[in-house]
Structures are given as C-alpha cells and as structure tokens.
Structure 1
Amino acid sequence: MAHTPLVSRVPGHHAGGDIAVQFLTSADEFARLAPDWNRIHGAAAAASVFNSWVWQYQWWQVYGGGQPLRILVALEHGETLGILALYIQTIQVLGVPVRLLRFVGTGADTHPDDVGPVLAPGREEAVARKLAAATLRISDADVVLLTDMDPQSVFPRAIEQAADEARRARLSGVSERIAYIDLPQTWPQFLQSLSSDRRSRLKSARKKALAGGKLRFFVWQDAARLDRAVDRLAELHQRRWHEAGGGSDSFATPQYIDFHRSIMKATLPRGWLRLYCLELDDELSAITYCYRFRNRVYLMQAGFDPARARLNPGRVLLGYALEHAIGEGNEVFDFLRGEHRYKDQLATGHRDTMSVRVFRTSPGAFAYRLRRIWLPIWKARFYGEPPPKLLP
C-alpha cells in the first residue's frame, strides 16, 4: 500500500525505533486499510463498534460524497501502530465558508459515540501524540472539530497537548452524558436491584402482554431476510414518533436507512448486531436495535407499533432485551446518547464522551467561534441561564 508522507519520521519511544505519520486520501486506500485496522482494533484498549473499520468505511461510502478524506496512519518500520480517519466538511457560518476537520462518522444525520483513532496496545501515548501533532499540521481546515471521543482514549489529552504546544486556541468539554446499567449476573438479581415500583411495572407489562395474545421474543439471525427487519424498524420508529406528535431524524433520510442497512449486514456475521424483536399475534410489533461489543450492549434505536400501545410493547421488549443481555454474560447495557426519562430511571451510572475544538487564525475560525461559541455563551450570561450545550 502506498502512503503519502505528511510529516517526516519523528523519534518514538522504543530503542532503535521511530514513528512516521503518513496519510491517505482515497476511498480505495481506505478499503485496503481493513486488515491493519481490524488487527489494531481487536486489541486496542479504547475500541468500540463506532471506531471499527467496518463502521467508518461503510459511513464513508454513504456520506463521504466527494468531501476531502484525510486518513492518518502511524507506522514504525512498516508496521501500522495507529489509524485516525478524518475528513473536511465545509459549512457556512455567518455567510463565511468554514472548513471543519472531523472524525469520519460524525457530521451527518448519524450520531455515533466513542469515536477516535485505533491505537496499538502498549504504544498508545506515543502514537496518539504523533497522530495529534499530524492532525494539527493539516493546513486546509479552519477548525479541528473532534467530538464524541471515548473517555478511555488517550487521544483527547494528546490533541490538547498538541494544540498547546502549537500555541493554537482550543476549547475542550463534554460531548454527551450517557446513561448505562451495570448488569448483574442473573435476571432475578436485576429485578431485585430495581425499585419496587419499577419492578412491578416491568413484571405487570410482561404479564399483560402475555395474556393479550400470542407473544414471541427473539433476536434476529436471518441474514437473507435482514432487509425486512430494517424496513420494519424504520417504519415502527417513525410511526411511534409521529403518533407521539413529534418527529425523529432517525430513519428519516434514504442515506440514514442505507447506512444502517449496510452496517447491519456487515456486523451480523461478526456477531455484533443485536436486533431484539417482539411479535404480538404473529406481527412484528417492536424492535430494539443494539450492538454487542466486548460484553457491552449498546442501544442504538427502537420502534414499536403505536396501535399496540396498550400492551406497552416497547417496555416489554426492553425487559426481554435486558434479560437476554444478562443471559449472554454482558456486563453493561449502554443507552448511548439521547435524553429519555426511562434511561435515567434504569441507569446505575453515567459517563461522558469528550470533545476538543482547535482553531486556526482565519476568518472561518473567527466566524465559527463567534456564532457557535461566543454568542451562545454571552446570551446565556445575559439572561442568567446555565451555560449552553455548544453545537458542533
């Protein structure tokens, strides 16, 4: 594989070794990274479904759309030690074009958590520093906008240090606050951990659904008919939100549906996909869309038939999903982003994903800071309101 140099070779921390950071700019080169990416991802301390090669490559195939691709590759004597996939998204802010350097996977109508580079175990610090310094040397961007980073990764601190060393203005903070459940070893233990009211509601919902007719819970495994499940999930999700009098960006565009269809097809044979399904009277009435990775289950989206609302299919299915996750030996049920009351009611803890913004001295960076950062903060202060959540 040919790599285009971005920076010269710089000293590493292994005796007699050095690390070179190089970059790729084409989708074909992206595709050829799969073996190295998968190898590092499989052993990396900070790894998720969302920074896997398959997730990021599929995202680029759907959403890349001719935008400039910037993939940084850290090499030592020809061995790949780290990979960071970025691209440049151009937006208009106050009538000024602003070039944002972002993670592949962010910046469209999909919103992944726990993104960032894959770093070889035992070399994380050195590789992260080299990738961070190289990121700031990419000259065709006004703002380095790195959001939704895994808090266990060393990369957020590395990009902060690189910005400080380059004397570039930066802003760090929390991207999302995420609720999760620490799962016990058995379903009875989980039920006992709930409040009496919550336990009663969960049991009574399942009992009512079982008494209401024929009920079947299952996890989708039929690869040949997976399209049917995706279409039904999109339909149920949109119907549920329409009936509630609101709307949802999820499954609202052809690109969103195409991406999730392709990623489900790619992850089902890997054993990552968990489509929890509930049939009522032989009709698929609720689906909860999750991924399983390293004994954690991540909840992506869900949908249910509002015509069956009296049987609480969403609540019933979530109960079955939790029971199944415990039965598989999972340790955590992670709700990912999104503020919903039921998440906080069930959660045993919360975690934060991280963001770092780094600014050049350019008209685009000034327009971005004025509109996206300074004005919202000044407005909140003027009205005596809490600091606002800053938009990307």
Structure 2
Amino acid sequence: MIVPASPRTRTPIHGAPSSYKYTRTIKRLWRSSWRVVCNGCDCKPMILFYGWVSMVTPSVPIVDGAPADTTIREVHDVNSWDALRTAWKQLFNTSPTAAPPLSWEWQRTWWDIYGPIYGSRLRILTVYQGDVLTAVLPLYLRRQPHNALAPIRLCLLGTAEEEFEETCGEYLDILHAPGMGPSACQVLGQRLQRTRPDWDVIDFSHVAADATLVRQTLVSSGSWQLQAERPSFVADLGGGFDTYLGELSTRVRSFVRKVLRQYEASGARFECAGSPQEITEYFSQLVDLHQARWQAVGKPGAFAAPRFKEFHYRLCQQMIPLGQAVLARLSIDDRPLSLLLAYIANGAAHYYVSGSRRDSGGIKSPGIAMNLLLKRHLASMGIQIFDYQPGSHTYKADYATRVRAMARLQSWRPTWRTALALTQRVANRIYRSLYRLPGAEEGLATRIDLTAR
C-alpha cells in the first residue's frame, strides 16, 4: 500500500525557491505523481511526493547468483582505461542508463581537465561475462584540496567539483547492458565489501531517484542515506512539437504563439553548428552572451572558470560531429541573439548552458524563442525528451510537462576522518540554530564584530 512519507523523515529539495508561483507549478507537475522506488526485495520503500523524498536504509542481501563466467576488473591508470574505448562506446550505445555524463568523451575529458585537481586515484569497476563488457561503474577517490583531514570520498567520475566550476553531470549511474543492472550491482557490491576499503565515504551525487544505484544497494553492510536534490524538469516531445505545446498551460501557450510570430516576422535565422570552424565561432559567441548576461547582474558567469570553459569546448568539438551534442544559434543579419548548448543521449536532449542578448531585435524573449525552436528541431529528428536539468528558474517549471526526482546516496565508514567531519557538521548546525533563539542574533553579531577587530 502506498502511503505518504512521514513529515518527520522528509528531506526538502535544497536550493528551490519558496515563491508561491514556483510552488504552485511544482504541485501541478507532481499532482498524481506518486512513485515508489523499490529494489524488488524485502526493503523499505522510498516515497516521492510533491518534491519530497523520505530517508531510507535499504537492505539488499548479496548472494552468489551471478553467472559463472562473470569477472570484475578494476582500472586504475589512464592507459588501461584508454584500452576500453571501443568496448565502452559499444556498451553506451545499447545501455538503458546511457546519459551524456556517462559517455566516453565526457568521462575521459573530465578526468583530463578536473582529475589533476580533485582526483587522487581512478577506480573504474568493470564487469565482464566472458570477454564481453557488460557493466561499468566509473569511480574515483576524491581528495579535498588544501585539507588533508577531510574524509576520502569515493565519488562517481564527473562529480564533486567545487561549485564555481562544476560541470553538473546529471543522471550518473551504472552503465550496463540491457537486463544486467541488478546482477552488476550485486557483483560490484561484493567487490566493494570484500576488498579493503580505501575510502571514508561513498558519495554518489547527481543520480536520478529511480536510478539503478538507488534501486540496488551496492554494499549490504553499513548505513545508507538518501538525500533529495533539486528535481529535474522534463519536456516530453514524443508526440511531436504541437502535442507538447498542447500540454502547457493556457498562459504559457499564449506567450509561445506570440514569440513564434515575432520570430517569423523578424527574419531571424535558426541554425546549428556543424563544422569545426562553426563550432569554434558559435562557442565563442555563446561564451560572450552568457558572460554578459550574468555579469550585468553582478555575477561572474559559468565561463569565468577556465576549466569549465575548456571542458565544454572540447566536448563540443568531439560530440557535435558524432550527433551527441547540438550547439544552436538564433541570429539576425549575422548578429547573434541567443545560443544554446545541449547534449544528446538515449533519445533525450539535455540542456546545459545558454546565452541571450537583451536587445532582441524585435523578439521579446530570444532565450525562450531559442528553446522553442530547438525543441521543434529536435522533435523533427525523433528526440523524445528535452531535459532542462535541475534548477530553480521559473521558466523551467513553466515549459516542463513533468519533473524527475534527483537524489544523493551516501554511506559513511566509522573512521577518524568521518568522526571529525560529522562532529564539525553537528557543531555547525548548533551554531546556526543559535540564530533562531530569541535575542541570539544581537549577541552573535557582537561576537562576530569583536572577532573581526
């Protein structure tokens, strides 16, 4: 029987705005969207309702039920990893969990750029049946820069960067062949359990709440925590562009028709980069418009981080020729109005970054026009989903037809590093709670001022 999660165990979506309009839109998208994520065994279910996720501690028995010819191999060096390139790509093309951050190009480029800063060691777990690669779980040991006392984290490859330069790789999971997810989790869980741990915390972030990693617990022993992250906003394009528009609210449809009329009357051009020269030109314009937009409101912009800029430029050069990315431009008389970069995998386009000009040249909202034109273009190509990715922008909720819950899965080992980290976390919570006590703000402000002197 499905019942709402207890209010005492609910974890809010962090970072989501509390505005009435946003909350009302979220409730519209989540209405009648009861979902249960269960691993099919005797475990406590996870209930998702109106953007809340209950805390659970799954208990999955690990038994020796894998095929006799199943073997696990760990990859710790780049040369051995490069030898997997062809098999990895073949697995990615058939995997039901394929997402852009799990592609060979994304993973390998991320390690080249971010690995020297955050990574202390590669730990890519691969599962073979005979000589056939059937599953990959890309992991790495993350070190905390300038903090030797911080817990050693076993993270999904492509995550856990500092916020100012994070690549926001969503939907990370086990990359597995069709039907191989449960057995892959089982054998990988045995491997992590039976080998001497070299980590203090398993930290799997940017995963969907219905991902294989959530449904199947990797390690049967130890306590697991499941924390809700900001949900992802999804627009369904499977029925075509016109069908998608029919699922939007009346207010949004009216604005869409107005923007499309302005686009047709303005003589603007919608085009996608193809050649290496066009990719370089479009990407430069994307950076300029994005940075100008955010710097105008006093923020640095995503491309202010050199590694973030280099990462996406290299991905564009690699993935656009393969049809795994699209860099679109809306312009009038060769004057760019808006550009948008999205990555494509498994019939879904994932929106990552855009830039728009404020003086629009006759189009009231070039950014919305770009979103609509790209959706129409992708729908004509057979793309089923346009994923806005997690975020708190109201327009994402307005133009989405549903939401997808995201989660973070953690398991802490009882080590001195984790004890130190958890003690510090509790101390910080106690300190913050003092602000909520009557008369505490003035006293704390006085102490802060005295410390500053």
TM-score range, shorter chain: 0.7 to 0.9
Distance in structure 1 (CA, Å) of the matches to 2:277 and 2:386: 28
Aligned positions, number: 367
Structure 2: segments with no counterpart, 5+ residues:
1-62, 438-453
Check the 8 A contact 1:46/1:152 in 2, yes or no.
no
Which of residues 204, 216, 230 in structure 1 aligns to 2:258? Answer: 204
Are the structure 2 counterparts of residues 347 and 144 from structure 1 closer, same or farther at C-alpha, using a change threshold of 3 Å?
same
Q: State whether residues 179 and 350 of structure 1, in contact with CA within 8 Å, keep that contact through their aligned partners in structure 2.
A: yes
Distance in 1 between residues matched to 2:199 and 2:208, nearest whole Å: 23
Look up the equivalent residue of 1:22 and give its one-letter code: R
- Counterpart residue type for residue 249 of structure 2: S
More displaced, 375-384 or 106-115? 375-384
- Corresponding residue for 2:349? 297
Match of 1:256 among 304, 308, 316: 308
Matching of residues 322-341 of structure 1 within 5 Å:
322-341=375-394
The structure 1 residue matched to 2:334, chosen from 282, 294, 300, is: 282
Residue 218 of structure 1 aligns with an amino acid whose one-letter code is E
Of 209, 217, 222, the match for 1:159: 217
Report what 2:200 is aligned to.
142
Q: Which amino acid aligns with 1:259?
A: F
Identify which of 38, 48, 62 aligns with 2:89.
38
Distance (whole Å) between structure 2 residues aligned to residue 377 and residue 267 of structure 1: 48
Q: Tell me, in whole angstroms, the C-alpha distance in 2 between the residues paired with 1:91 and 1:271.
A: 36
1:104-127 CA-to-partner distances (Å, cap 9, x unmatched) read: 100222111011221222322111
- Aligned partner of 1:116 among 166, 173, 190: 173
Give, in whole Å, the separation in 1 of the partners of 2:234 and 2:183. 31
> Do the aligned partners of residues 142 and 236 (structure 1) sit closer, same or farther apart at CA in structure 2, a change above 3 Å counting?
same
Name the CA shift for 1:322/1:76 in 2 (closer, same or farther; >3 Å).
closer
Q: 1:171 aligns with which of 225, 228, 231?
A: 225
Q: 1:262-286, CA deviations, whole angstroms, 9 ceiling, x for partnerless residues?
A: 1111111221111121012321221
**SS of residue matched to 2:322:** coil
How has the CA–CA distance of structure 1 residues 83 and 363 changed in structure 2, closer, same or farther, with 3 Å as cutoff?
same
2:60 aligned partner: none
CA apart distance, 1:132? 2.9
Contact 1:70 / 1:88 at 8 angstroms: preserved in 2? yes
The 8 Å contact of residues 119 and 128 in structure 1, kept in 2 or not, is answered as: no
Distance 1:149 1:135 in 2: 19
Q: Distance in 2 between matches of 1:254 and 1:292?
A: 24
Question: 1:369 deviation in Å?
Answer: 2.9
User: In 2, are the aligned partners of 1:175 and 1:353 still within 8 Å (CA)?
Assistant: yes
Q: State the AA in 2 paired with 1:216.
A: R
- Distance change (3 Å), C-alpha of 1:27 and 1:203: same
Deviation at 1:372, TM superposition (A): 4.9
Contact 1:92/1:98, CA 8 A, preserved across alignment: no
Deviations 1:277-322 (A, max 9, x none): 1012321221111122222121111111234387321111112112
Q: Quick one: structure 1 residues 229 and 138, their matched pair in 2 at CA, closer, same or farther if it must change by over 3 Å? A: farther
Question: Structure 1 residues 347, 225: CA separation in 2 closer, same or farther (over 3 Å shift)?
Answer: closer
1:188 corresponds in structure 2 to 242
- Asked whether the 8 Å contact 1:11–1:19 carries over to 2, the reply is no
Distance 2:342 2:430 in 1: 36
Q: Which moved more, 1:227-236 or 1:169-178?
A: 169-178
Query: Scaled by the length of structure 2, what TM-score is found?
Result: 0.74
Indicate the residue corresponding to 1:125 in structure 2. 182
TM-score (norm: length of structure 1):
0.85
CA 1:246–1:139: 2 relative to 1, 3 Å: same
Q: 1:141 & 1:112 partners in 2: Cα distance? A: 22
1:59 is aligned, of 110, 114, 118, to 110
1:364 aligns with 2:410: no
How far is 1:93 from its partner? Answer: 10
Root mean square deviation, CA, Å: 2.7
3-state SS in 2 of match to 1:239: helix
Cα distance, 1:174 vs structure 2: 2.4
Farther off after superposition, 369-378 or 344-353: 369-378
Write the letter of the residue equivalent to 1:324.
H
Q: 1:100 to 1:48 in 2, by over 3 A?
A: same
Which residue of structure 1 lines up, in the alignment, with residue 297 of structure 2? Answer: 244
Would the alpha carbon gap of residues 372 and 104 (structure 1) be closer, same or farther in structure 2, given more than 3 Å must change?
Answer: farther
- SS at 1:357's partner residue? strand
8 Å contact from structure 1 (residues 236, 303) kept in 2: yes
Question: In the aligned structure 1, how far is the partner of 2:238 from the partner of 2:129?
Answer: 42
Q: 1:232 to 1:133 in 2, by over 3 A?
A: farther
Q: Is the 8 A contact 2:142 2:155 kept in 1?
A: yes
Q: Distance in 2 between matches of 1:181 and 1:242?
A: 29
Unaligned runs of 5+ in 1: 1-9, 385-392
Q: Which sits farther off after the overlay, 37-46 or 100-109?
A: 37-46
Question: Residues 40 and 239 (structure 1 numbering): CA distance in 2 closer, same or farther, change over 3 Å?
Answer: same
**Is the contact made by 1:174 and 1:354 (CA closer than 8 Å) also made in structure 2?**
yes
Name the SS for the 1:308 alignment partner.
coil
CA deviations 1:155-182 (Å, max 9, x no partner) are 223335x1xx33x233112233111112
Q: 1:19 to 1:371 in 2, by over 3 A?
A: farther
1:368-379 alignment to 2 at 5 Å? Answer: 368-372=421-425, 375-376=428-429, 379=432
